[in-house]
């Protein structure tokens, strides 16, 4: 990469690429569309981004970095146990509404584009989503250790169901748009947490 971190143009390109990818998907994110949005010539953009594939990876890296800052890091500052697990869920639900992704979650947009297109972008997406499932499972293990969740709970099962409900929520919200979607997702998560909790 020709870029040094902290370079203002670099940050502007990544910000606008993330915003554009959220609207058109990773497949639709072209160097020419990005050049236009950034206000650079195509050759000017080429000095910063070497290929469409490189651009896709850069956008995913930018999204992963923001997701870590906005969802994972704040949750780690919450008390160990159920509060931290809840913070991951609520942070994730807010993430899909972030103003820097006007077309919605870029990971969601990337999944259908990349799920059967092998390469560095798919690898990066897969590793990020594995990390996310692992973060959920780890938070569940901590909640078991703290005595908040049942000792016989399978933390990977809870992580699976949380991940599935979250992505499913996103499909329901974006596609069907029933005004009760958010309330129903919250109720689903409450039921899930209730089933995980140590009986009082």
What does the binding site for its own copies look like in residue numbers (CB under 8 A)?
A: 23, 25, 27-28, 103-104, 108-113, 115-116, 125-126, 129-130, 133, 156-157, 160-161, 163-169, 171-172, 174-176, 180-181, 184-185, 187-188, 191, 195
**Smallest distance from its own copies to CB 9, Å:** 28
Which C-beta is closer to its own copies: that of 27 or that of 74?
27
Residues 105, 107, 110: CA angle, nearest 5 degrees: 115
**Smallest distance from its own copies to CB 74, Å:** 23
Which tokens hold the place of 145? 């250790």
Which C-beta is closer to its own copies: that of 39 or that of 168?
168
Which C-beta is closer to its own copies: that of 4 or that of 194?
194
Which C-beta is closer to its own copies: that of 28 or that of 39?
28
Q: How far is the C-alpha of 15 from the C-alpha of 61, rounded, in Å? A: 11
**Smallest distance from its own copies to CB 191, Å:** 7
Residue 177: φ, ψ to 5°: 65, 30
Residue 158 Ramachandran class (φ > 0 left, ψ -120 to 50 alpha, else beta): alpha
As a dihedral over the C-alpha atoms of residue 39, residue 27, residue 166, residue 86, rounded to 10 degrees, the angle is -40
Which C-beta is closer to its own copies: that of 40 or that of 113?
113
Q: How far is the C-alpha of 34 from the C-alpha of 56, rounded, in Å? A: 12
How far is Cα of residue 109 from the mean position of the Cα atoms in its chain?
Answer: 10
């Amino acid at each position: 990469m020709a870029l040094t971190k902290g370079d203002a143009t670099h940050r502007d390109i990544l910000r606008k690429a993330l915003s554009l990818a959220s609207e058109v998907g990773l497949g639709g994110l072209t160097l020419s569309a990005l050049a236009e949005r950034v206000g650079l010539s195509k050759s000017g953009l080429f000095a910063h981004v070497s290929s469409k594939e490189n651009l896709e990876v850069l956008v995913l890296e930018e999204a992963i970095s923001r997701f870590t800052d906005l969802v994972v890091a704040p949750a780690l500052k919450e008390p160990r146990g159920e509060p931290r697990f809840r913070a991951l869920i609520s942070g994730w639900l807010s993430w899909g509404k972030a103003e820097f992704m006007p077309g919605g979650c870029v990971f969601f947009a990337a999944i259908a584009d990349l799920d059967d297109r092998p390469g560095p972008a798919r690898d990066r997406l897969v590793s990020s989503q594995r990390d996310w499932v692992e973060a959920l499972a780890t938070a569940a293990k901590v909640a078991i250790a703290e005595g908040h969740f049942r000792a016989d709970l399978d933390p990977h099962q809870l992580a699976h169901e949380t991940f599935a409900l979250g992505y499913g929520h996103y499909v329901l919200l974006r596609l069907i748009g029933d005004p009760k979607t958010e309330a129903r997702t919250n109720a689903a998560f409450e039921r899930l947490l209730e089933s995980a909790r140590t009986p009082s």
